[in-house]
Structure 1
């Protein structure tokens, strides 16, 4: 079984966490009669040797031994081993090769090419595994027919044979998917597989799930050829599939060890809980429908029609997965998402709390475009408070509590004070108060009620303890946004405590928060000044910015800014350029250095320096500024928000940007910094305003339609 295992110099290779010398022990443990030992070994293999899908040299070197385990009937958990083999092969193909089949070179070298070569050599054996007596082994092996078997005719024949023999939905969907994978991988298989998929999609004897899978996988093979009839046909088959598969209650999540709440920030605990929840799939057709949405791409109306059908399913798990897909669509693609938002709002009152929780969470994540569901959110929150009492924010049932909290947060992010009663309950009762603090800054009209409570929370943070930075930073950010000077004394005290306890992250956040108050924070000038020479790379620029904001002497601040401008740390240069831009023409002494930085190797530095040049030098600098901005935006679209903000200030001097602006607005995918909804919506708003200003319609002519 393991001949040659110890002849390999495993210690000379590395996986995700260092030396791979443990690999022989893990491989041997996969054959152990002890189920717990096997489970731990498999978990460790996925976690270190195949970490997040990575394929390292020891991953590839393990394949012969994993294959021996897979084909030996005496191996326990053979299906898990086969699934591991397939995962390594699939990830090797995805990560190790370009679309044209050329190998991607990594440093240090990866094991993708070696893994694919081995699995292709053993590809014929996947035909045997696909006929294994154990159903789980067959299910795990079926994808290998499409991924690794290079004999197109033989692979096609085995897939046809297995479809006739397999009766479970999971196996039939896997077979159809493997047929499409084969068609996309081998030109010799393309026509026979796509023709077969077309026949299956039209064959009523195959049953709705199989026909739906065939239709979707046929579309995956040729997304550019998706006709008008495909989506209506898919919606009809989806409806039939929902009737064919019995609805089931959503199974409870597996229990996990509870992290000690006094040792880990609640934000971190919640993030891992979210990650665990989002990796779960609740319906057998979810992966298939994700494939369909990927094939449809930018066809937002068609995808919305499919999601509308998914969201009307009688199966709560199918609706839950559809809620997540809806969020992914809205966060990734531009378009009118009103219908989808309203459909998600309908899920807030779902009988299954898991669905309601997810709907509220998605609406919160999409809050920049969630205006159409404002009233639905408010009504839902009021109904929950009426049914469960004013303390529903702290309800003992976890799902009800989370459903209410996410709906409140979504409404608060819309600036709606109807979220305020629950936020005050959270801040007064201290149950999940951190979740209320994160959205408090969106309600400046309620600053008189929020600020005293936020100050009280900030006073209670002991910065001598670990894990306090996230909480302190969140409160400081909220107070800065609310802008009530009542908060200044506790903010100054927090700055002092952060310096004493060397909490550099909190020190930087406190400086940024004080900057937001401008001259009102002038009493903190001496304390701020003392930090302008700090050795911490983040504190120094924050202190210089704060010193200027609270009324620092230009003669004192200018040398500090020029020093930052001359440094090699790129964000120091960008921060200094931003401040010099705020100073305007009075910072003309910096013009030569800013001009020189327009040739800096990092486009973000060039963008910030170009914007500062415009603010300081004005019209005389316009040609160089515009050239720099347009080149940076073309090179790195993530700079678009910063670029457009400067173009907006340049007015008519930005006229040459019109083609790039139109091109940007015509893109179907969201763009801007981080490609997030808020950045993209701002990008579109500024872009449309600029186009209208720079190219106004001719009087009497119909207005041009902005993309």
Structure 2
């Protein structure tokens, strides 16, 4: 076998993402191992180093002959994965400019992508044999490889079409997609391939899944000519798909057993925060596809783009499907549409809520998680969420938050978290159970801040959990930070003693981030935390600037002694905590007058944000005497960087009539002056901070189905 000649390659002279390629032959041998663990490790190492993030190196090219031999050997234990790796390498190379010169990690020029395509193209005939292999897992990547790499496009289409009868559903959908991909790549076969797809879509003797795929991929061939009948036809075909037929012999259906882990779950490895462990579990779930038609429907949504009404109609049918796998995969698509496009999505939210099925915890967990990601938009699902939560408590008992069945527990927790996020006190019993018993308490902590009406019950429990944090264990810092944050959000002064103790403990263990958060939380209670001055005052002179700035701000909030605070804040103006110091000086107002000379000097800074912060503080401290310089500075910064507009207008709003721009100011265009004058009008001058738009107003701005704006 050629693998025995692997040591004849000068691997040392090549490199990969992490250094010399001397370890590549070991990985190649590992891929041929009969031990599944060894194989998995070998593939993982190769992907992360020799095919790092899709990159192709000389060592990747040198590996290709050995990979082809493994893929072609009946004795190879995992040929499908090897062909999948070949497919990934080839796809990367096809996406790169053949005329471009790229650079290897060592800085040398590389055209490895061209060399790799030459090797793959020279061996592409083997894909014709692989697409007829007895192993369906081998056939699947081979079908895509045939369409990508066989030089004779007409032959590729002919071979692919011949495979359709008798193939499993997943392969048939792959065949249809690959024919369209070949047509898009080669104009010589475009017409014939498109006609075949058109005929296949109308062939009533074919399975509805195949007809749906043909319909969508025919549209892919001419994306600019998608007619009004495509979505209604797709909806009609979706209705024809039945649970007994979907996927036929190889449907990866939606089953409770698909959830990883054992009953009752397992604790994270020592030193790994539970939040991090859960994040990795979430990543694993996101990659799942349950219905073979999901890739087809995703392609159709991509083609439809901004045709939101049609996409909504399609998603509504997906979420109503009689096939559980189709419904499940539609949850993520619906979430993405709602998050990415503005509009009235009440109908889709209600349909997502309809996926909260007590008998199907797997789907319920996904639906609740999707609703949770939508924030206030999930409001129409409130009653369904409450009903689901109550039904779970009735069926599984009041401790269902900690149910031993992993799926039941996760579904209930996700639903409770969404309900709590809406401020609904019907979530409170489960939240209290979590805080009292400790099972996944961190999940309850994340949403407890929305239940302000129950602060009297929540604050003692959260304070107790904060007191139990071991600040010498850095892995608990995330939990400490979350507890501090929620106590601040609940705004219950009864939390102040626990926060003061947390400051002391965090400083002792040099957990500066937690110390800063706790100081900020103490400051939010104002003079009600004055008992903590003995803790706070020494920290206003520590070396760590983050802690010093937070402690100085807390001193002002707790004591209100400008004489003791302003000099410290002026010192901070020459550090990277400048913006925080300026903000506190502005809050102090006239008593911060000793800072005025330094703030005036900051108006000449090169960085526009520095000028904006300084100008705002100048107005808050100096008033009318500083108005002219403040307005000029603000408008100049706005002209330079539109991102400053919110801060600029907020300050002009506080200034009232004094904030009207003078003729000839830097940004005195008609629209700018109108906006600034409106912000500074007498009717709004006392609104600080500026009031947020009402919900109806926000909904109105969504009506045009524009892409959601960034931050």
Tell me the TM-score range normalised by the shorter chain. 0.7 to 0.9
Distance 1:51 1:121, change over 3 A: closer
Summarize the alignment of residues 651-690 of structure 1 with structure 2, pairs less than 5 Å apart: none
State the Cα distance separating 1:542 from its structure 2 match: 3.1
* Counterpart for residue 144 of structure 2: 143
Distance 2:525 2:138 in 1: 64
Given that residues 525 and 552 in structure 1 are in contact (C-alpha distance below 8 angstroms), is that contact kept between their aligned partners in structure 2? no
Distance (whole Å) between structure 1 residues aligned to residue 627 and residue 192 of structure 2: 65
CA distance 1:503–1:179, change in 2 (3 Å): same
1:381, CA displacement in angstroms?
1.7
Aligned to 1:212: 212
Q: Does 1:21 align with 2:29?
A: no
Structure 2 CA distance for aligned equivalents of residues 398 and 6 of structure 1 = 51
The question of 1:81 aligning with 2:90 is answered: no
| 1:367-386 matches, cutoff 5 A | 367-386=375-394
- Which residue pairs with 2:168 in the alignment? 168
Contact 1:150 1:186 in 2 (8 A): no
Deviation digits for residues 134-187 of structure 1 (CA, Å, limit 9, x no counterpart): 433221122223433454434333333333x55211112112222333344445
Mapped pair 1:353 → 2:351: no
| 2:342 counterpart residue number | 334
- Give the one of 120, 123, 131 matched to 2:121: 123
Does the residue aligned with 1:75 lie in a helix, a strand or coil? coil
3-state SS of paired residue (2:228): coil
Contact 1:57 1:109 in 2 (8 A): no
2: distance between equivalents of 1:201 and 1:265? 51
Please tell me whether residue 275 in structure 1 is matched to residue 280 in structure 2.
no
Give the direction of change, closer, same or farther, for the CA distance of 1:687–1:312 in structure 2 (3 Å limit). Answer: closer
Aligned to 2:325: 317
Conserved in 2, the CA contact under 8 Å of 1:56 and 1:111? no
2:679 — aligned with what? none
Most deviating of 232-241 and 5-14: 5-14
1:4 is displaced (CA, Å) by 6.2
- Report the Cα distance in structure 2 between the residues aligned to 1:632 and 1:60, rounded to whole angstroms: 47
Cα deviation for residue 410 of structure 1 reads 0.7
How far is the alpha carbon of 1:591 from its aligned partner? 3.7
Structure 1 residues 185 and 607, CA gap change in structure 2 (3 angstroms): farther
Match of 1:575 among 580, 586, 593: 580
Indicate if the aligned counterparts of 1:176 and 1:213 stay in contact, CA closer than 8 A.
yes
Cα distance, 1:252–1:63 mapped onto 2, change above 3 Å: same
SS of 1:123 mapped into structure 2: helix
Q: Which consecutive residues of structure 1, in runs of 5 or more, have no partner in the other structure?
A: 663-681, 693-703
Structure showing greater radius of gyration is 2
| Alpha-carbon distance between aligned partners in 1 of 2:361 and 2:456, rounded to the nearest angstrom | 34
Q: Quickly say closer, same or farther: Cα 1:154–1:371, change in 2 above 3 A.
A: same
CA distance in 2, matches of 1:643, 1:297: 36
Partner of 2:449: 441
Shift in CA distance, 58/49, structure 1 to aligned 2, threshold 3 Å: same
Measure how far apart 1:479 and its partner are.
Answer: 0.6
Instruction: Give, in angstroms, the shift of residue 690 of structure 1.
Output: 14
Cα distance in structure 1, aligned partners of 2:91 and 2:692: 37
In the alignment, is residue 288 of structure 1 matched against residue 293 of structure 2?
no
Aligned-partner Cα distance in 2 for 1:659–1:57 = 56
Aligned partners of 1:531 and 1:539 also within 8 Å: yes
Structure 1 residue 705, shift from structure 2 partner: 9.1
CA contact (8 A) 1:345 1:359 kept: yes
Counterparts of 1:387-406 in structure 2, within 5 Å, are 387-406=395-414
Matching residue of 1:413? 421
> Per-residue CA shift, 1:370-409, capped at 9, x if unaligned?
1111122122222222232222222222212222111111
- Write the distance in 1 (CA, Å) between the matches of 2:609 and 2:13: 42
2:310 corresponds in structure 1 to 302
Partner SS, residue 468 of structure 1 = helix
1: CA distance, partners of 2:321 / 2:59: 45
Task: Give me the whole-angstrom Cα distance separating, in 1, the residues matched to 2:118 and 2:693.
Answer: 47
- Check 1:126–1:254 CA distance in 2 against 1; reply closer, same or farther (3 A cut): farther
- C-alpha distance in 2, partners of 1:690/1:356? 28
- CA offset at residue 438 of structure 1? 0.9
Structural mapping, 1:412-491, within 5 Å = 412-491=420-499
The structure-2 alpha-carbon separation of the partners of 1:450 and 1:140, relative to structure 1 and needing over 3 Å to count, comes to same
Which is worse superposed, 531-540 or 290-299? 531-540
Determine the C-alpha separation between the residues in 2 that align with 1:475 and 1:142: 52
Q: What is residue 637 of structure 2 aligned with on the other side?
A: 628
Structure 2, unmatched stretches of 5+, are: 662-667, 676-690, 707-711
Instruction: Measure the CA separation in 1 of the matches of 2:438 and 2:641.
Output: 46
Cα 1:124–1:366 change in 2 (3 A) is same
1:593 Cα offset (Å): 4.4
Pick closer, same or farther for the CA change 1:499–1:691 going to 2, 3 Å: same
How big is the shift at 1:347?
1.1
SS of the residue 2:473 aligns to? coil
Shift of 1:65: 3.0
Length-normalised TM-score, structure 1: 0.82
Aligned to 2:45: 44
1:258-269 equivalences under 5 Å are 258=266, 260=268, 262-269=270-277
Report deviation, 1:573: 4.2
Question: What is the CA deviation profile of residues 466-520 of structure 1, one whole-angstrom value per residue up to 9, with x for unaligned ones?
Answer: 4211111111101101111111111111100111112222212212222322332
* Aligned equivalent of 2:531: 523
Distance verdict in 2 for CA 1:684–1:102, change over 3 Å: farther
Per the TM alignment, residue 254 of structure 1 is displaced from its structure 2 partner at its CA by 4.8
Query: Which whole-Å deviations, capped at 9, do the CAs of 1:3-54 have from their partners, x for residues lacking one?
Result: 4655334476243x55543211001222234444333322332344435545
What value does the CA root-mean-square deviation take over the aligned residues?
3.9
Q: 1:656 Cα shift?
A: 6.1
Evaluate the alpha carbon distance shift between residue 612 and residue 75 of structure 1 in structure 2; reply closer, same or farther with a 3 A threshold: farther
Contact 2:127 2:145 in 1 (8 A): no
Query: 1:413-459 CA deviation, whole Å, 9 max, x = no partner?
Result: 11111211221122122222111111111111111111111111111
CA distance in 2 between partners of 1:448 and 1:338 (Å): 34
SS at match of 2:603: helix
TM-score by length of 2: 0.82
Q: Retained in 1: the 8 A contact 2:268–2:274?
A: no
